[in-house]
């Protein structure tokens, strides 16, 4: 029987629904609250991009493994919950081993519910993924942390001052990632506080004032770090928040405000049209 490649396999509807119900940064106030589904579906293309870069550096990368493990890397958190990175770093070797055992117990129960992959493949992916010994798992780990860093930068740009200390946590996290052989060639640097303060702020008031072009130009400013720009491009092209076309793509927490801004813009357009029609009719009398 011919081998069935991974891209013909799919996570189940239960996987998607369950991950959508689990909030990211659940202990923090967040303007643009995301969930584990958004995280997983954004980590996958980030990991595939980094995997492509590593392949060009002559690393031997199994992209199918990267594709699978990046999408399912957080599945056990459905049962174990998301443990903050500072807490994980403070764990003893025994505590880390206990956590890995809990994660594998969870994966064993979730295998038949979350994927159409062969059970043995899914469980092997989960087991190997926690060890982070292979180049594929190190790529997934970098992509995983990169999504969190970019979410943090996005919150700060949008005015969420509570994420300054989260940024400092990511500074420590990325120092740990520097142990991976490929990391130094990826040109990923956690911006300093001063660097973030110099990034263009994302001010929704521009939309309410009718300055839509200025608003989107600030969102996608060319001076932003390459990995953050890539993260936004993945979000945009993936349509992860697509409910009102372009206006909702990166701002789930501002949906009501963006709807109002869109409505106000439409009202202005209709008003301008009616005025023009009225003037035309008066001119014809």
Give the separation between CA 35 and CA 209, rounded to whole angstroms.
31
Whole-Å CA distances, 174 to 97, 143, 169, 261: 22, 11, 9, 38
CB 224 within 8 A of CB 189: no
CB 96 within 8 A of CB 103: no
CB 157 within 8 A of CB 200: yes
pLDDT surpasses 50 at 13: yes
Confidence category of residue 8, pLDDT binned at 50, 70, 90: low
**Chain segment 55-105, per-residue pLDDT in tens:** 999 899 999 999 999 999 999 989 987 776 767 777 888 888 888 888 899
DSSP helix/strand/coil, 35: strand
Q: Report the chain's C-alpha Rg in angstroms.
A: 22
Mutual orientation of helices 135-157 and 226-238 as an angle, nearest 10°? 90
End-to-end CA distance of the chain: 81
CA atoms within 13 A on the CB side of 240: 25
Whole-Å CA distances, 122 to 17, 70, 151, 233: 19, 12, 28, 29
Whole-Å CA distances, 173 to 78, 111, 166, 258, 271: 23, 29, 10, 34, 53
pLDDT surpasses 60 at 277: no
Q: For 192, which DSSP code? A: P
Q: Where in the chain is CATH 1.10.3210.10?
A: 6-189+225-240
**Chain segment 177-236, per-residue pLDDT in tens:** 999 999 999 999 999 999 999 999 999 888 878 888 898 899 999 999 999 999 999 988
Percent of the chain with pLDDT over 90: 58
> Which residue blocks in the chain are alpha helix, DSSP H?
13-20, 36-56, 63-72, 77-80, 85-90, 93-114, 119-131, 135-157, 164-177, 193-198, 205-208, 212-219, 226-238, 255-284
In Å, the largest CA–CA distance within the chain is: 89
- Specify the pLDDT at position 261: 66
Q: What's the mean per-residue pLDDT of the chain?
A: 85
Q: In the CATH scheme, what is the code of domain 6-189+225-240?
A: 1.10.3210.10
Give the separation between CA 255 and CA 81, rounded to whole angstroms.
27
Give the separation between CA 88 and CA 103, rounded to whole angstroms.
14
Give the separation between CA 108 and CA 233, rounded to whole angstroms.
35
Of the candidates 64, 43, 36, 25, the residue with the CA atom closest to the CA atom of residue 155: 25
Of the candidates 245, 273, 271, the residue with the CA atom closest to the CA atom of residue 259: 245
């Amino acid at each position: 029987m011919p081998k069935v490649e991974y891209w013909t396999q799919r996570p189940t509807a239960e996987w998607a629904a369950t991950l959508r119900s689990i909030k990211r940064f659940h202990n923090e106030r967040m303007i643009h609250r995301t969930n584990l589904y958004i995280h997983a579906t954004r980590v996958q293309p980030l990991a595939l991009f980094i995997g492509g870069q590593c392949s060009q550096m002559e690393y031997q990368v199994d992209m199918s493994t990267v594709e699978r493990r990046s999408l399912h890397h957080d599945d056990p958190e459905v049962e174990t919950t998301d443990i903050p990175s500072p807490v994980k770093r403070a764990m003893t070797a025994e505590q880390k081993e206990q956590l890995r055992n809990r994660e594998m117990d969870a994966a064993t129960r979730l295998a038949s519910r979350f994927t159409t992959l062969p059970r043995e493949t899914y469980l092997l992916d989960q087991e190997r993924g926690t060890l982070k010994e292979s180049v594929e798992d190190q790529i997934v780990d970098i992509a995983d942390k990169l999504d969190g860093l970019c979410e943090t930068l996005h919150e700060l740009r949008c005015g969420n001052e509570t994420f300054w200390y989260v940024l400092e946590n990511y500074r420590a996290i990325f120092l740990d990632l520097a142990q991976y052989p490929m990391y130094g060639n990826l040109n990923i640097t956690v911006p300093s506080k001063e660097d973030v303060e110099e990034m263009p702020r994302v001010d929704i008031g521009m939309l309410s004032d009718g300055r839509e072009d200025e608003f989107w130009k600030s969102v996608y400013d060319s001076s932003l770090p390459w990995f953050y720009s890539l993260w936004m491009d993945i979000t945009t092209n993936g349509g992860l928040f697509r409910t009102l076309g372009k206006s909702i793509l990166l701002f789930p927490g501002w949906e009501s405000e963006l709807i109002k801004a869109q409505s106000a813009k439409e009202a202005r357009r209709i008003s301008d049209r009616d005025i023009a029609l009225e003037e035309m009719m008066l001119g014809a009398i």
